[in-house]
Structure 1
Amino acid sequence: MPFVEISLARGKSAEHLEAVSRSVRDALVAELKADPEDIFQLIHQHDPHERVFSRTFRGDPRSDDWTVFRITDTADRGTGVRRRLCKTLVRLLREGPGVEPADVSVLITVIPPDSFSFAGGVLGSDAEAAEALEAARDKSAARTAYTGAEMTYALSGLFERRDLDLILPMLRDDFLLSVPTSLPYGGEFTGPEAFRGFFSGVPGGAEVWESFSSSVDQILEGDDHFTVQLTNTAVPKATGKKLVFHNLWLFETADGTLVSGQLYADTAVVTTTAPAGKGP
């Protein structure tokens, strides 16, 4: 549900505040098809000198009950929907708490989902992608195309949590994974199962590393590709000393699927500290 801030005169009863809150929630449910349980509101009460407003500009004379609704949404639903929302809100406020239409001002702002986080530092775009992918799991028909936000979320899960479940369905059957052959685990790997084998553990396995973890610095989306920049923290088995190094993955896309992946890395970091071994 969109985030709502309500500003009105101080001194209103708890019953009045509850009725105002309920009116805007019901309007959002009716016109934006919002989830009634997904409610986030802040109510601000102001002393008389803290509210400065015209009594007559673009409306009938406003009273001391002037109430402002600031609605922040993550989807541009169009002028028609916004018009219906305002009219429904005005009607419900008059029927419920008794706020006159002349005393109702509405400000609607649209922001991208990645400019909002509900909790835990998770961006709204990631939350939406996770919800969409989870919903797809419950459907018998396989998805044939995925959005950029969904691919971004799946790539993040792959490198930060070794989560393969989300990304594997996004791979084309002939997906080509290319890793520099100068690495002890380099080569080309074709198809989702080969992809699963490569990413199911650390690169090169226990023959190369005592430990290996990655954090995503950023994921950049282009017209037909994603660039994933990583910071890796690892302990080579050959030396037992911790290394911190960076690399980059380039994933190409077509028709809502991932078609290839290429690792760009400072291979000297690995080849000078690790013995020759076999990649997964």
Structure 2
Amino acid sequence: MPLVKIDMIRNVRTPDEIKKLADVVQEIMLEKFAAPPRDRYQVITQHEPYELIFEDTGLHIPRTEKLILIQIFQQGRTADQKQAIYASLAERLEKECGVPKTDLVISCSANSKEDWSFGLGRAQFLTGDL
């Protein structure tokens, strides 16, 4: 189950545009990471422009106010699956949500089954509930 955090600059997108962006991200999680249906964990945070600082690491990638940071916390995905996620997010978010590929930064981090509790003070992956 991926946990996806989406950060963006405040007041650049409407609530409907943000919902569409989140929906596209979820569709890609289902398609490329084979996340189970209804396995949707997303946190969307908007920041003041001065609170997101993303230089280009010497790659000469221009950034605009449409900048999006997507952090994905997940278990057991391969390098190929991660690369497929990066490519799909870049293509679909540009086409369907107007996010320039130069304004999309993605970080994918791994964690373990013992790192999750979905409530009730239990580690459901370890107890066999999931």
TM-score (norm 1): 0.44
Q: CA-to-partner distance for each residue in 1:28-66, whole Å, 9 max, x for gaps?
A: 111011123111111110011111121574353111111
Indicate the SS of the match to 1:119.
coil
Greater than 4 Å deviation, 4+ residue runs: none
Structure 1 alignment gaps of length 5 or more: 132-280
2:105 aligned partner, one-letter code: S
Report how far residue 125 of structure 1 moved. Answer: 2.2
Q: Does 1:7 align with 2:7?
A: yes
Higher helix share: 2
1:83-94 mapped onto 2 (5 Å cutoff): 83-94=83-94
In structure 1, C-alpha distance between the alignment counterparts of 2:111 and 2:58, rounded to whole Å: 28
How many residue pairs get aligned? The number is 129
- RMSD (Å) for aligned C-alpha atoms: 1.6
Which residue of structure 1 aligns with residue 129 of structure 2? 130
In structure 2, C-alpha distance between the alignment counterparts of 1:8 and 1:57, rounded to whole Å: 22
Q: Does 1:77 align with 2:77?
A: yes
Which residue of structure 1 aligns with residue 34 of structure 2? 33
1:71-220 mapped onto 2 (5 Å cutoff): 71-73=72-74, 75-126=75-126, 129-131=128-130
Contact 1:117 1:123 (8 Å CA) reproduced: yes
Give the 3 Å change call, closer, same or farther, for CA 29–48 of structure 1 in structure 2.
same
TM-score (norm 2): 0.90
Larger Rg: 1
Structure 2 alignment gaps of length 5 or more: none
Indicate the SS of the match to 1:96.
helix
Report how far residue 126 of structure 1 moved. Answer: 2.5
In structure 2, C-alpha distance between the alignment counterparts of 1:120 and 1:92, rounded to whole Å: 36
Higher strand share: 1
1:80 aligned partner, one-letter code: D
Q: CA-to-partner distance for each residue in 1:133-167, whole Å, 9 max, x for gaps?
A: xxxxxxxxxxxxxxxxxxxxxxxxxxxxxxxxxxx
Q: CA-to-partner distance for each residue in 1:58-90, whole Å, 9 max, x for gaps?
A: 3531111110001111x2211111000110111
Contact 1:55 1:63 (8 Å CA) reproduced: no
1:195-274 mapped onto 2 (5 Å cutoff): none
